[in-house]
Amino acid sequence: MASIIAAIIVAALTIKKSKASPTNDPRPCVQLEVPVSIDTTAIKWLQPKVDNNIEAVDWVRFQTTRTSPNTTESAIGQITIKKTFKINGQLCVPPKGSKSSILQIATHGGGFDKRYWDAEIKPKEYSYVQAALAEGYSIFTYDRLGTGLSSKPDAYTDMQLNIHVEILRALTALARSGKLISASKRLSGSKDAQLTAYQPSKIVHVGHSIGSITSVGLITHYPAESDGLIATGFLHTNIPIPGLNVGSWGFEFARQSNPVLFKDHGSGYLVSGTKYNIQLNFLRAGSFEPEVLDYAFKIRQPIAVSEFKSILTAFGPDFGKFEGPVQLVIGENDYGVCGGDCNGTYSLDEIKQIYASAKDVAVHVQPGTGHGLTLSTNATAGYKVSFEFLRKNGL
């Protein structure tokens, strides 16, 4: 099992400063600020400080040098995290949705905020939120800690994957109890009584990249708290893990890269310096529109140094206890996860063994697509495959 977990592959990446959706948004959505209290432990990591662009390059060099301590060896102590963070989110409940009692909670990956799921450019072609609503589902998207309008805590201590898991668990518990809106500060959006009182009957967790790692972390620590998993930009592979090589990101110190957009991001927050770094990590030539690349760069978001260091801390002790359906969705040409070609890099039989108790296990390889599945021209085709998988499994 240890060798399989060591072979877990993923890739991180995602975007800029999130604006709450405008108050005249005609969709049945509400913008929330959710207080989430965390009481857990995290790891103190051996790694250089990053307070300027020169130090950003030095951090990348340290992280990728073959003789630097690896993730396990660079753990040099434990720290207690007992804090309340503000998480910005959007809850959408279609009033006549055929599956509105099923809530999807979508967690974005590194390099973006929740707009990864809800593109403002050509939403009919790219927005996962719009596609889910059209299918009849309710959906909650949120800015992960350190991104968008959520809290920007210490990049070395607070921004770790096991903390992301605990935040997702808390959001899930609030949603399942029907108290997500009542426990939050309503920022804008619909005041429909049905939405305010919304309590789902089932919850499906949807993730992308680091968001998929977070969602897998949830079902492997707390398997009873999810009814289904769609993990995109994530695959258990049989090859080395190029996604942990951060050299392709073109990292700069976020506050120096753009002092206006990233003024709230302090020491240890990195961001891709050019749109071509985003292209390399997220997109494949021939499967994206140049205007979408420009949009992706516009909404890019920083990622904290300890998110990379702590990736393996997300996973719980046993993948085999989750009983819901599991679908892994990967772009055929995902650069970070599969080195640009995912064909032949995984065994479905071995993945079924990993999720031994799951109701159903499937892998979908989206043709001609990179890591940024929602940014690709065939995005909606992939959504349909996932919706069909859920429908087949009663979700």
Any idea what the CATH number is for the domain that residue 165 is in? 3.40.50.1820
Domain presence at residue 257: no
| CA 230, 237, 111, 124 torsion-angle sign | negative
State the pLDDT at residue 18: 38
State the pLDDT at residue 19: 40
Domain presence at residue 259: no
Residues of the chain predicted below pLDDT 70? 1-26, 240-245
Provide the domain count of the chain. Answer: 1
CB 111 within 8 A of CB 12: yes
Domain presence at residue 312: yes
Domain presence at residue 285: no
The domain in which residue 328 lies consists of 2-45+66-243+307-392
Domain presence at residue 269: no
State the pLDDT at residue 241: 56
State the pLDDT at residue 98: 87
Closest alpha carbon to 342 in 320, 373, 311: 373
Domain presence at residue 51: no
Percent of the chain surpassing pLDDT 70 = 92
Tokens of 392: 């087949």
State the pLDDT at residue 242: 46
State the pLDDT at residue 202: 98
Domain presence at residue 254: no
Collapsing DSSP to helix, strand or coil, 76 comes out as strand
Parallel, antiparallel, or unpaired: how do β-strands 326-331 and 228-232 relate? parallel
Domain presence at residue 54: no
65-71, Cβ contacts within 8 angstroms, sequence gap of 24 or more: 71/244, 71/309, 71/310, 71/311, 71/312
User: Residue 196's beta-bridge partner residues?
Assistant: none
